[in-house]
Structure 1
């Protein structure tokens, strides 16, 4: 149950939003840029309409070091919408399964591989709240198999 101490910890920033950036700058010494304007937004993050979100393949790998979710995404071309979808997938899967998700992107295109390998950083420069670093299998790092015996292996 939410109590008054919980509410007091965050509501002070609703009353004085600039206090939060001052605290980041002066107390934590985080180089947060000086805001020109701060507006309180709706705090309800509930999705009213169902949103279809599917990963291409999802595997659970049990290891001696722990359990991992292997999120495999096949990517034919650059698609900047994925820069929002992939962090969402990983966060959702972590919350649902309580084990570490690992994003693996598979592509046949070198430019797409370079694009997909770029880290997705959410937050502000110098202090990222979330960083997604996809592992990428593509034409530049996966050898072409031309031998039938090699393909069998």
Structure 2
């Protein structure tokens, strides 16, 4: 199953597909076409042959009824030489299927891995060299403006994940919490869980202190309420709940990737499960099932 850090990137893009265009613009602004709507597509890029190709997610940028561009998004946390062969195949397969321009956006939170991913890939044919567009920590914008965070709270979450250990972390966390005021409370709580899980201990302490007491510039009812609930439940229980929620979201990604049809009730049942052992059992079943009836059998 995907790692927790890997999963949160994909979840943010699935929640706000236009975020793929925002991140692409951070790497290469002139690559983003004019579009009216962004839509998540099937990430299964397999054709009718034995080799299976499945990207992390695919977003179509729509202009009127046409696809102006398709963006293949891959999260890469470590070097994987197999990707040097599969990434060009992703583009060729999706380009033939959608009949539109296609770009590959590789997101790598680690600077060294980002540099590795950005290396040109020679395809063998004279003149054909493929160069992935890579979003590393240096390309992720630092969001300290609360208004910008309110406009794009998901980007503010990514900013906190990437730069929360830097000198501007207090401003970054304050802006992020402002942005999360504008989305549904449970979803915002999930994002906070993920950010806290990824941050180093010192940065995590700073964020928790802001949620607990606020700063001179900002005090958030949501943040104080979130912090209070976490303390009331106890640290151990809070960590278990955060772990279960993260695993549940990963399970949903696996089921989506396998093409298992999920009703709203099924998604809610998985997300509301607070027992990590139960979710782990469902995760084992998810590898072989053909329907959700088998998942809950």
After the TM superposition, which residues 4-153 of structure 1 pair with which residues of structure 2 at under 5 Å, given as runs?
50-63=50-63, 67-123=68-124, 127-128=126-127, 130-142=128-140, 143=142, 144-145=159-160, 146=169, 147-151=172-176, 152=179
Change (3 A) 1:48 1:55: closer
What 5-or-longer segments of structure 2 have no aligned partner? Answer: 1-46, 143-158, 161-168, 181-297
Using the TM superposition, give the Cα deviation of residue 136 of structure 1 relative to its aligned residue in structure 2, in angstroms: 1.0
Aligned partners of 1:101, 1:88: CA distance in 2, in Å?
Answer: 12
Distance in 2, Cα, partners of 1:66 & 1:48: 24
Structure 1 gaps, min length 5 = 1-46
Q: Partners in 1 of 2:105 and 2:112 — Cα distance?
A: 16
Q: In 2 relative to 1, CA 48–96 (structure 1 residues): closer, same or farther, beyond 3 Å?
A: closer
Higher RCO by CA contacts (8 Å cutoff, separation 6 or greater): 1
Taking a change above 3 Å as real, the CA distance of residues 91 and 48 of structure 1, as seen in their structure-2 partners, is closer
Q: Please identify which structure carries the higher helix content.
A: 2
Distance 1:48 1:60, change over 3 A: closer
Q: Return the offset for 1:141.
A: 2.1
Q: CA deviation at 1:93?
A: 0.6
Equivalent position SS for 2:123: strand
1:148 Cα deviation (Å)? 3.5
Deviation at 1:49, TM superposition (A): 5.0
Could you state the TM-score of these two structures normalised by the residue count of structure 2?
0.32
Task: State the Cα distance separating 1:51 from its structure 2 match.
Answer: 2.3
State the SS of the aligned residue for 2:78. Answer: coil
Q: Deviations over 1:24-63 (max 9, x none)?
A: xxxxxxxxxxxxxxxxxxxxxxx88532210001010024
Shift of 1:139: 1.4
Task: String of CA shifts for 1:55-94, please: whole Å, max 9, x gaps.
Answer: 0010100248961111000001111111110000100111
State whether residues 60 and 67 of structure 2, in contact with CA within 8 Å, keep that contact through their aligned partners in structure 1: no
For the Cα contact (< 8 Å) 2:61–2:68, is it kept in 1?
A: yes
CA distance in 1, matches of 2:173, 2:110: 23
SS of the residue 1:93 aligns to: helix
Aligned partners of 1:92, 1:149: CA distance in 2, in Å?
42
Report SS of the residue matched to 1:123.
Answer: coil
Q: Distance in 1 between matches of 2:48 and 2:95?
A: 22
In structure 2, C-alpha distance between the alignment counterparts of 1:133 and 1:63, rounded to whole Å: 26
